[in-house]
Amino acid sequence: MNTAVAEPISEDLIRRFDVSGPRYTSYPTADRFVEAFSVEDYTQALKLRRAGGAAMTLPLSLYVHIPFCESLCYYCACNKIITKHHDRAGPYLRYLSREVDLHTEQLGVGQTVTQLHLGGGSPTFLTDDELRELMAMLRRNFTFAPSGEYSIEVDPRTIDASRLDTLAELGFNRLSFGIQDFDPDVQKSVHRVQPAEQVFALVAAARERGFDSINADLIYGLPLQSPESFDRTLAQVVELRPERIALYAYAHLPERFKPQRRIPTVEIPSGAAKVAMLARSMAAFMGAGYVYVGMDHFALPTDSLAIAKRQGRLHRNFQGYSTQPDCDLIGLGVSSIGRIGATYSQNAKTLEEYYDYLDQGRFPVVRGLALTRDDLLRRAVIMAIMCQGQVLFESIELAHLIEFRKYFAPEMEALQKLADQGMVTVDDVGIQVTDMGWFFVRAVAMVFDRYLQTDRTRARFSKII
């Protein structure tokens, strides 16, 4: 598949697909997890992983959630704890260590990790010594592969060049900077002031220290934004030239996320303005030589994510697109989500409950899902669409012992509408997402989502583009 389209994506086409839908960092999606999935179910999944032996075991990825932030960003929908009391980090690290101990009791010490991501919250809320403590604890219990990807989310307001030295020393090779928007008025309106000069200096310092890849997070649809103001941010990001860009649409849901109640609805850009911002963002980044990886991700052609896209090696996990092979994922910390074998699990969402489980010597898992045969089949199809942009009938039929067109007869009929719109082509070999369709790949994947077929309430999801 090519990485560009012959013509720019029109605002009219974007508007036609301006609907809500899952991001498919998993299938089934996290909103389908149930409380009936227990600590015992999670423990059994770990035992099955260990029983599989090295030859049969998937690679292992770690996600560690650090929930603390010093100040509140009004747009934020993440699980976070706003506090200036840094002494809260110490107890949290001790409980993380207990959670790791529970895992090594089941898996043994020394499982090889190929991917680590520290998210939040703000992982850089931790001091240098606390980060050293955390990484030392993880390295005592797991073996980190020399060629692995080790990333951390960075709040530019909380670090300087000397802290970058610490991150490099600890083995992090990828940084993700939360930028959102460079416009000073927008920054004030969302309570996240960080001058562009500060971010440019940090990125320059990170490059001097040899980090493999730098990601910039942007959000369009924030209060006081306009297509013209966002154009200025786009130009600055192109000048900054991070290896990767994640461009997210802001979803204003004050009834669900209390911090968003501080944003006056009147200051939110109109739907037409958001569509214009997205269209102009695509044009700016692709015009600057970025590859459209998919959904809301762009990468320079030399970045491993763009290379994986070209070579058909793209994968997805709970952090988004990844170059790593299909992994088991251990989620550590409050609210973290994990995947072991054919199960998903999520930890307690409050510190009190998280600590209480660990005080009892139990995994802090409060909900999850054991995937059915149908779930596994549809996951394979949806991930093939999301990552490779194609589904080969024969490979799915051999792996899952079905007749594709017969099993998915209603879906194939529904897919015809997208085919008529030029989003996919279907032949005797399989389904191919077109260059144009790649921009609307979530809409293609949604055709095969059994849960959406029975539940058309999509308000819980972000817009698909």
CB atoms inside a 10 Å sphere around CB 207: 13
Q: Is 328 annotated as a binding residue?
A: no
- The DSSP symbol for 157 reads G
Q: Is 464 annotated as a binding residue?
A: no
Please give the Cα distance from 455 to 372 (Å, whole number).
18
Q: Is 449 annotated as a binding residue?
A: no
Please give the Cα distance from 83 to 373 (Å, whole number).
44
Q: Is 95 annotated as a binding residue?
A: no
Q: Is 375 annotated as a binding residue?
A: no
CA end-to-end span of the chain: 19
Q: What are phi and psi of 116, to 5 degrees?
A: -135, 135
Q: Is 78 annotated as a binding residue?
A: no
Give me 127's structure tokens: 């001091």
Give me 227's structure tokens: 């297509």
Q: Is 435 annotated as a binding residue?
A: no
Q: Is 382 annotated as a binding residue?
A: no
Q: CA 43: distance to chain centroid?
A: 25
Q: Is 16 annotated as a binding residue?
A: no
Which are the contacts of 3, defined by CB distance < 8 A and separation ≥ 6? Answer: 291, 292, 301, 306, 309, 310
**Percent helix, strand and coil across the chain, each to the nearest 5:** 45, 20, 35
Helix (H, G, I), strand (E, B) or coil at 149: strand
Please give the Cα distance from 237 to 247 (Å, whole number).
11
Please give the Cα distance from 324 to 321 (Å, whole number).
9
Q: Is 217 annotated as a binding residue?
A: yes
Q: Is 321 annotated as a binding residue?
A: no
State the binding site for S-adenosyl-L-methionine: 63, 75-77, 120, 153, 180, 192, 217, 251, 337
Q: Which residues are annotated as a binding site?
A: 63, 69, 73, 75-77, 120, 153, 180, 192, 217, 251, 337
In the annotated binding site for [4Fe-4S] cluster, the residues are 69, 73, 76
